[in-house]
Chains A and B, each alone.
Chain A
Amino acid sequence: MTALASTVHRNVRGSIASGRVNLIEAAQYRVSSLIWAVVSILQAVVYLSVWSAVADAGGGSTGGFTPGEFAGYFLVVLCLRTIVVTPTPMGEFATNVRSGLLAAHLLRPVHPLAALSGAALAHRIQSALAMPAIALVLMVAFDATIDVRGVAWFALLLVVPLAILTKLLADSLLACLAMWLTRIDGVRGVYNLVIILLGGQFAPLDVLPDTMATVSRALPFYWTLGYPAELAIGRAPLADIWIAIAVLGAWSIALYTLVQPVWRAGTRAYEAVGT
């Protein structure tokens, strides 16, 4: 038990240190961070404009969303996406495998995936500070409709951390594939696409055809982004909050249980290619 506590303590300290380094690195690339923020905002604005135009053309609503509700949905997604979805430790981990840098990271006292997750979280904290203010201005500009319910926003305090945990664990599991495949950009391409298309970034779940909506509910990504957004704007029924918490809790446990043996098998398979 002492050994376990010591491992956890070491990894938490290592992750915090890695997060600090990431924040310093991000400060070096301020323009890049700023442009990323503009990209996220632009994406939300275009999606909400297109779906609002479609709703107008369809007699005032599409998939049960009015233009005001689309605006509310996409601007909440803008905030949540920064906190939950991006960035991911996967790309950097795969690069470390390909370059051989992982060999050195394996000798460090902190778990390589914990260090990368710490860095990703630090980035999220930084982005999370700016995005809500921008979203708020855009909500006024686009006349967004949000039904604020106290219970729902209180539930978000539990749902969002679970969503972050689920996403980090899913990323970590996929990152492990790099130890066998070396190059995982194709797998990452499919993974990111599934997140965009079925996670609620491209359109709310109610707009998708029934088959796709069913697939979305069976995967974790809708629960990490689309559901919290629907909860925040007042679309998700309060009675179903426990379902979301149970689903996200189950995904976290399942993914954590899977990451352990996959990591061990991955480190045995890893052949330290690169320079």
Chain B
Amino acid sequence: MSTRSGTVRRTVRGSLAAMRVDLLIAAQYRANMAMWSLASILQVVVYLAVWQAVAAASGGSTGGYSAAEFAGYFLVLLVVRDITYTWIPYELSGYVRSGKMSGLLLRPLHPIAYIGTSIFAFRIQSILTVVPIAAILFVMFDATVDVRAEAVVVALLVIPLAMSTRFLADALLSLASMWLTRIDGIRGMYYLLLLLLGGQFAPVDVLPEWLRTIALAMPFYWTLGYPTELLVGRAPMSDAWIGIAVLAAWTVALYAILQPAWRASTRAYEAVGS
């Protein structure tokens, strides 16, 4: 027990130290950060403008969404995406290919926790940019959301679960690089599924029936589309327990798989790169 509490203390102290460094690094690359925020905002604005145009051309609504509801959905999605986003698959596979992973394995802090802290540090900064911009766009696009107090309370539980599911799924995916070295293809597939089935490209109600069924069976929709629908008042409150149960089950399952996968991957890792 005391070994475990020692590990936890070491990880927390190490994470805080790494986060301080990452906040300083983020401050060095301000223009880069601004461009990433711009990319997120641009993507959402284009999708919502297109779906608004499609709704207008289809007699006022598409998939049950009016133009104002599309705006509300995509602008809340912008914030939810920013909160849940991670880039572990890029960072960890880069460390494996460059050989930097060898150095990270010798540190007292777990490499995944190390990357997690940098993501958290960047997220603190990006959220301060994205939330006010989403609020301005909300007014500009005349967006509509049906905010219900009970849904917001449920979202406060759902969003941390969505963050942990996403973090664990990304971490698990990135471990493939310990065997394959280059995971661009798998990563591309993963992000494509997140884009198309997670509710980023369109709300799942707009998708054809067979695609919607696949979306509900995978974790992507639950980490992104579902919290968004909850906050805009589209997800029925009677089904909230399903969302919580699905995300909790994914979190537990992914955490359980991550442990042996990490051990197996560190055995397979061959320290390529310079």
B211 contacts A46, CB within 8 Å?
yes
Which of B29, B59, B207 is the one whose CB lies under 8 Å from A183? B29
Could you say which of A39, A42, A49, A183 contacts B208, with CB atoms under 8 Å apart?
A: A49
Interface positions of B from 24 to 83, Cβ below 8 Å from A: 29, 31-36, 38-39, 42-43, 46, 49-50, 52-54, 57-59, 62-63
Q: What is the predominant secondary structure among interface residues of chain B facing chain A?
A: helix
Contact B189 A38 (CB under 8 A): yes
Indicate with 1 or 0, residue by residue over A180-215, a CB within 8 angstroms of chain B CB atoms: 010111110110011001100011000111011000
Q: Which of A34, A59, A62 contacts B54 (CB 8 A)?
A: A62
Contacting residues, chain A, for B35 (C-beta < 8 A):
186-187, 189-190
For the complex formed, measure the closest distance between the CB of A124 and the CB atoms of chain B, giving whole angstroms: 16
Identify which of residues 157-204 in chain B touch chain A, using a CB-to-CB cut-off of 8 Å.
Answer: 180, 182-186, 188-189, 192, 196, 201-202
**A residues in contact with B43, CB < 8 Å:** 193, 197
The DSSP consensus for interface residues of chain A is helix
Residues on the B chain within 8 Å of A190, using CB: 35, 38-39, 42
Asked whether A127 is an interface residue with its Cβ less than 8 Å from the other chain, the reply is: no
The chain B residue sitting closest to A196, CB to CB, is B43
| A39-62, CB < 8 A from B | 39, 42-43, 46, 49-50, 52-54, 57-59, 62
Nearest Cβ distance between residue A184 and chain B, in whole angstroms?
A: 8
- Judge whether B196 and A54 touch: CB under 8 Å: no
A189 and B189 contacting across the interface, CB-CB below 8 Å: no
Q: Whole-angstrom distance between the alpha carbons of A226 and B211 in the complex?
A: 25
Given A190-B42, A197-B42, A183:B180 Cβ within 8 A:
no
A42's nearest neighbour on chain B, judged by CB, is B192
Separation in Å of the A252 CB from the closest CB of chain B? 26
Q: Are A50 and B42 closer than 8 Å at their CB atoms? A: no
- How many A-B Cβ pairs are below 8 Å? 115
Which residue of A is nearest B37, CB measured?
A186
How many residues belonging to B are interface residues under a CB distance threshold of 8 Å?
40
A33 within 8 A of B: yes
Residues of A near B196 (CB, < 8 A) are: 42-43, 46
**Which chain B residue has the least Cβ–Cβ distance from A43?**
B192
Contact B211 A49 (CB under 8 A): yes
Q: Are B32 and A34 in contact (CB under 8 A)?
A: no
Give CA–CA (A36, B190) in the complex, Å.
11
For chain A, give the interface size range: 35 or more
Cβ distance B159 to chain A, nearest Cβ, rounded Å: 24
- A62 and B185 contacting across the interface, CB-CB below 8 Å: no
Among A34, A63, A202, contact of B185 (Cβ-Cβ < 8 Å):
A34
Q: How far is the CA of A33 from the CA of B38 in the complex (A)?
A: 30
B274 within 8 A of A: yes
Give Cα A36–Cα B182 distance, bound, in whole angstroms: 12
C-alpha spacing A122/B243, complex, angstroms? 47
Expressed in whole angstroms, the Cα–Cα distance for A42 and B29 within the complex equals: 35
B206 at the interface (CB under 8 A from A): yes
- Decide: B189 and A197 in contact? CB cutoff 8 A: no
Instruction: Answer whether residue A35 sits at the interface, using C-beta atoms and an 8 A cutoff.
Output: yes
Pairwise interchain contact A58-B57, C-beta atoms closer than 8 A: yes
Contacts of B98 in A (CB 8 A): 99
Q: Which of B58, B184, B185 contacts A57, CB < 8 Å? A: B58
Known: A49-B208, A194-B42. A186 touches B36 (CB 8 A): yes
- A63 to B188 CA separation, bound complex (whole angstroms): 29
Which of A46, A63, A187, A202: most chain B Cβ within 10 A? Answer: A46
B188 touches A36 (CB 8 A): yes
Given A42-B192, A53-B207, A194-B42, A33 and B185 touching (CB < 8 A)? yes
- Within the complex, which residue of B34, B50, B58 is in contact with A209, where a contact is CB–CB below 8 Å? B50
B50 touches A58 (CB 8 A): no
Q: Contact residues of B with A, CB < 8 Å? A: 29, 31-36, 38-39, 42-43, 46, 49-50, 52-54, 57-59, 62-63, 98, 180, 182-186, 188-189, 192, 196, 201-202, 206-208, 211, 274
- 21 A-B pairs within 8 Å (CB atoms) are namely A29-B182, A35-B186, A46-B211, A49-B208, A49-B211, A50-B206, A50-B211, A54-B62, A54-B206, A57-B63, A58-B57, A58-B59, A58-B62, A185-B32, A186-B38, A190-B42, A197-B42, A202-B201, A209-B49, A209-B52, A275-B274
3 smallest beta-carbon distances between A and B, as pairs = A186-B35, A35-B185, A189-B39
